[in-house]
């Protein structure tokens, strides 16, 4: 009943274990995905903030000169133009990049019937002097005569961030021309009357300073790692056919479209990313509040000319080591899943091993109890006979010499039976420990078979069995131990006698075979026409203490050690023991032993070993 309860509870334990493992797997996957998602959001927020700060710093560097000349809002034609020169000199003394400004011009277009008058700030005299229209400004003179449009300021992302700088009113009238590049501001414009400014302040910027000093400094300031730039950075304009690289941190990075960029930004703020609803596009979604762009807007000057949007300056960044950040987050999630499921797999293996070990331990405990019961039964019968004989002799029932001899013969037979049982147990323990390996040597198979048949002759005759012997006399010597091989064969023969049916026949065959792995062997087969072995019992037939349920039900005596002992002895000698069987038709056990090399064959020598000292069934005569 207890065994039934243990077996019934095992499926429940396995079901609970499987449920726990599946639940852990689902939780591990969910936690790993959430952790990877949080990491992606954190990296996206950090990158977006770096790009926003990079952009604001660039805007600050270009707008400083505009703020310095804010007094120009009160300019009148009658006042001295040289007030701009004083403001510009003030800015140059405090600016971090004073070389960014190449020239400062004032363009006077108050006479529509003649070319504009152009004045350039002289670095030598510090005053504005009339000059011919410079080629560096291109066709700006024609553009300056057109009406000024304020529609650009109303576009999303183009408003100045007054809450951040608090300088929106001072910069609102400035325009930016990316082709020169230049900053422009109308002076004394009468927008209410004509919408056409009469004069312009033009600040020509040096793109080489922007490329070689400002943009590299900003890249190192906002994309710097512990050992250099963490990102490849480029500022480009135009499409692939007319691409212009304004700055690139790495040679060739900005020459072509970067499909796996981690971040992109339209510096002019005209092109918005659909997913982020911002001029900034990041490889991963940002925080729920739309990331840093929700707190810090994108500020830039309205453009002076109506240029195509694909001509806008664009900031492109990509992580330098290990590919893009999107790949990094994906790989991190995969590594996390691999580690999590690896640990879960180890847990499953450990739990499986624990369950298997527990099942095996329970099964071994049951087998050991069966063994103890079987050994006790095997001991009880001869001890009962010996005790009864001793009582009869002591009580004087036996009075004649012939009776004493008969009683002595019975006691001797039972003692031999007990000795055989003890020898099997001791031999099993010895072979499990690998003892007496050095006792191996060349033995003759035909001589061993003859000796075994002689020792079991009494049992065979008593059971009225027929022995069919087919053993060539010229078999080569094999490597083994004389008594060990004898006891293996004796065990196989006694099993054939024990598990026989009405057809009392035992076949013994020996032959030489060449095996590709084991080499040349002598195979000795013991066959019977007994009850056979079931398919469910065959995998366990050589396990210690194992006895088939049908054998126990038939109350056939045994300890479950015979075949386990025979197999261990065979393997101890470097051989093997196999079985083929069919229920109801009999079994064939095959003992395979390696042939001894001819150079090692010597005349038989007594080994003097202490392990194999007696036969399981020593020769004896039956009582007449």
231 in any annotated domain: yes
Helix, strand, coil content of the chain in percent (nearest 5): 45, 20, 35
Lowest mean pLDDT among 3-12, 65-74, 334-343, 524-533: 3-12
Of the residues 323, 354, 378, the one at which a domain ends = 323
Q: Tell how strand 466-470 and strand 505-515 pair up.
A: parallel
Q: Give the model's confidence band at 195: pLDDT under 50 very low, under 70 low, under 90 confident, else very high.
A: low
| Mean pLDDT computed over 25-54 | 86
CA 333 to CA 40: how far, in whole Å? 10
137 in any annotated domain: yes
567 in any annotated domain: yes
CA 8 to CA 11: how far, in whole Å? 6
pLDDT at position 331: 79
Cβ proximity of 201 and 106 under 8 Å: yes
Name the nearest CA neighbour of 559 among 567, 541, 547: 547
Name the nearest CA neighbour of 291 among 270, 275, 306, 311: 275
User: 68 and 203 share a domain?
Assistant: yes
User: 183 and 261 share a domain?
Assistant: yes
Q: Reduce the secondary structure of 37-83 to three states and give it as a string.
A: HHHHHHHHHHHHHHHHHHHHHHHHHHHHHHHHCHHHHHCCCCCCCCH
- pLDDT at position 606 over 90: no
Q: 105 vs 555, which has greater pLDDT?
A: 105
Write the CA distances from 477 to 120, 283, 474, 509, integer angstroms: 117, 78, 9, 16
pLDDT at position 413: 73
Q: Reduce the secondary structure of 182-220 to three states and give it as a string.
A: EEEEEECCCCCCCCCCCEEEEEEECHHHHHHHHHHHHHH
User: 368 and 236 share a domain?
Assistant: no
Q: What is the tally of structural domains in the chain?
A: 2
613 in any annotated domain: yes
DSSP letter (8 states) at residue 470: E
CA 418 to CA 326: how far, in whole Å? 79
User: 346 and 255 share a domain?
Assistant: no
User: 407 and 458 share a domain?
Assistant: yes
6 in any annotated domain: no
CA 63 to CA 162: how far, in whole Å? 13
User: 442 and 508 share a domain?
Assistant: yes
Q: Give the model's confidence band at 217: pLDDT under 50 very low, under 70 low, under 90 confident, else very high.
A: very high
Calculate ∠ Cα 428-431-433, nearest 5°: 110
Of the residues 297, 323, 349, the one at which a domain ends = 323
Token pair of 91, please?
A: 């800015």
Mean of per-residue pLDDT scores for the chain: 77
User: 319 and 348 share a domain?
Assistant: no
pLDDT at position 162: 40
- pLDDT at position 77 over 50: no
User: 278 and 418 share a domain?
Assistant: no
User: 251 and 104 share a domain?
Assistant: yes
The CATH number assigned to the domain holding 572 equals: 3.30.565.10
427 in any annotated domain: yes
pLDDT tens for each residue of 481-521: 887 888 888 888 888 888 887 788 999 999 999 887 878 89
Lowest mean pLDDT among 161-170, 278-287, 511-520, 547-556: 161-170
Token pair of 491, please?
A: 């065990």
Q: 365 vs 294, which has greater pLDDT?
A: 365
Lowest mean pLDDT among 113-127, 230-244, 264-278, 320-334: 320-334
pLDDT at position 439: 67
| Mean pLDDT computed over 420-433 | 66
Q: Give the model's confidence band at 158: pLDDT under 50 very low, under 70 low, under 90 confident, else very high.
A: very low
User: 534 and 431 share a domain?
Assistant: yes
Lowest mean pLDDT among 137-146, 147-156, 252-261: 147-156
| Mean pLDDT computed over 270-294 | 70
CA 546 to CA 338: how far, in whole Å? 42
251 in any annotated domain: yes
Cβ proximity of 126 and 266 under 8 Å: no
pLDDT at position 416: 75
Token pair of 424, please?
A: 């099997």
pLDDT at position 58: 92
pLDDT tens for each residue of 108-151: 876 666 777 888 888 888 888 889 989 888 888 777 766 555 55
| Mean pLDDT computed over 74-78 | 48
Lowest mean pLDDT among 219-233, 343-357, 553-567: 553-567
CA 481 to CA 486: how far, in whole Å? 8
- Boundaries of domain holding 290: 37-323
User: 338 and 307 share a domain?
Assistant: no
Angle between helices 325-394 and 401-432 (to 10 degrees): 170
**SS3 category, 513:** strand
pLDDT at position 168: 57
pLDDT tens for each residue of 309-355: 878 899 999 988 656 677 777 777 788 888 888 888 888 888 888 88
18 in any annotated domain: no
Which of the listed ranges 88-97, 134-143, 276-285, 391-400 does the model predict with the highest average pLDDT?
A: 88-97
Write the CA distances from 523 to 477, 505, 580, integer angstroms: 12, 20, 14
List all residues 6 or more positions away from 184 whose beta carbon is below 8 Å from its beta carbon.
140, 144, 174, 175, 176, 177, 200, 201, 202, 203, 304
Q: Tell how strand 505-515 and strand 519-528 pair up.
A: antiparallel
Of the residues 299, 323, 347, the one at which a domain ends = 323
Q: 571 vs 435, which has greater pLDDT?
A: 571
User: 318 and 387 share a domain?
Assistant: no
| Mean pLDDT computed over 567-596 | 88
Q: Give the model's confidence band at 1: pLDDT under 50 very low, under 70 low, under 90 confident, else very high.
A: very low
pLDDT at position 83: 74
């Amino acid at each position: 009943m207890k065994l039934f309860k243990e077996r019934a509870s095992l499926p429940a334990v396995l079901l609970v274990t499987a449920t726990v493992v599946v639940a852990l797997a689902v939780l591990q996957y969910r936690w790993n995905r959430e952790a990877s998602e949080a990491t992606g959001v954190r990296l996206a927020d950090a990158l977006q903030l770096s790009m926003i700060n990079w952009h604001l710093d660039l805007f600050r560097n270009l707008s400083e000169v505009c703020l310095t000349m804010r007094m120009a809002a009160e300019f009148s034609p009658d006042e001295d133009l040289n007030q701009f020169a004083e403001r510009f000199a003030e800015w140059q003394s405090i600016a971090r990049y004073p070389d960014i400004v190449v020239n400062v011009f004032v363009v006077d277009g108050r006479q529509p019937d003649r070319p504009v008058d152009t004045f350039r700030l002289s670095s030598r005299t510090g005053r504005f002097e009339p000059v011919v229209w410079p080629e560096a400004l291109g066709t700006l003179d024609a553009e300056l005569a057109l009406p000024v449009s304020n529609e650009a300021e109303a576009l999303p992302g183009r408003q100045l961030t007054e809450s951040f700088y608090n300088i929106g009113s001072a910069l609102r009238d400035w325009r930016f021309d990316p082709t020169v590049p230049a900053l422009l501001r109308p002076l004394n414009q009468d927008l209410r009357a004509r919408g056409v400014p009469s004069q312009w302040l033009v600040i020509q910027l040096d793109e080489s300073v922007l490329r070689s000093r400002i943009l590299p400094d900003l890249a190192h300031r906002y994309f710097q790692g512990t050992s250099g730039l963490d990102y490849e950075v480029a500022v480009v304009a135009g499409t692939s056919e007319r691409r212009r690289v304004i700055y690139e941190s790495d040679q060739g990075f900005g020459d072509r479209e970067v499909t796996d960029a981690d971040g992109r930004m339209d510096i002019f703020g005209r092109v918005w990313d659909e997913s982020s609803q911002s001029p900034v596009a990041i490889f991963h979604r940002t925080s729920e509040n739309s990331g840093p762009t929700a707190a810090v807007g994108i500020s830039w000057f309205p453009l002076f000319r109506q240029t195509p949007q694909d001509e806008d300056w664009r900031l492109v960044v990509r992580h330098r080591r290990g590919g893009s950040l999107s790949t990094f987050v994906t790989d991190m999630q995969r590594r996390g899943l691999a580690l999590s499921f690896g640990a879960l797999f180890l847990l499953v293996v450990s739990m499986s091993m624990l369950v298997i070990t527990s099942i095996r331990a329970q099964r071994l405990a049951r087998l050991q109890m069966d063994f103890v019961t079987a050994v006790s039964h095997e001991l009880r019968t001869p001890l009962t006979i010996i005790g009864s004989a001793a009582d009869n002799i002591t009580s004087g029932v036996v009075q004649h010499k012939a009776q004493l001899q008969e009683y002595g013969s019975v006691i001797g037979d039972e003692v031999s039976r007990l000795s055989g049982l003890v020898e099997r147990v001791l031999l099993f323990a010895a072979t499990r420990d690998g003892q007496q390996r050095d006792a191996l040597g060349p033995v003759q198979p035909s001589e061993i078979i003859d000796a075994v048949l002689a020792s079991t002759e009494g049992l065979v005759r008593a059971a009225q069995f027929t022995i069919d012997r087919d053993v060539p006399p010229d078999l080569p010597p094999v490597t083994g131990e004389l008594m060990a091989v004898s006891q293996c064969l004796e065990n196989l023969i006694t099993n054939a006698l024990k598990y026989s049916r009405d057809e009392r026949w035992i076949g013994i065959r020996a032959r030489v075979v060449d095996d590709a792995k084991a080499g040349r062997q002598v195979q000795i087969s013991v066959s019977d026409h007994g009850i056979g072995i079931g398919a469910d019992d065959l995998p366990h037939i050589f396990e210690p203490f194992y006895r088939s349920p049908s054998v126990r039900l038939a109350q056939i005596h045994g300890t479950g050690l015979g075949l386990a002992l025979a197999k261990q002895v065979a393997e101890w000698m470097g051989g093997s023991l196999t079985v083929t069987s069919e229920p109801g038709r009999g079994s064939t056990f095959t003992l395979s032993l390696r042939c001894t090399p001819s150079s090692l064959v010597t005349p038989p020598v007594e080994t003097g070993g202490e392990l194999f000292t007696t036969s399981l069934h020593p020769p004896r005569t039956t009582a007449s």
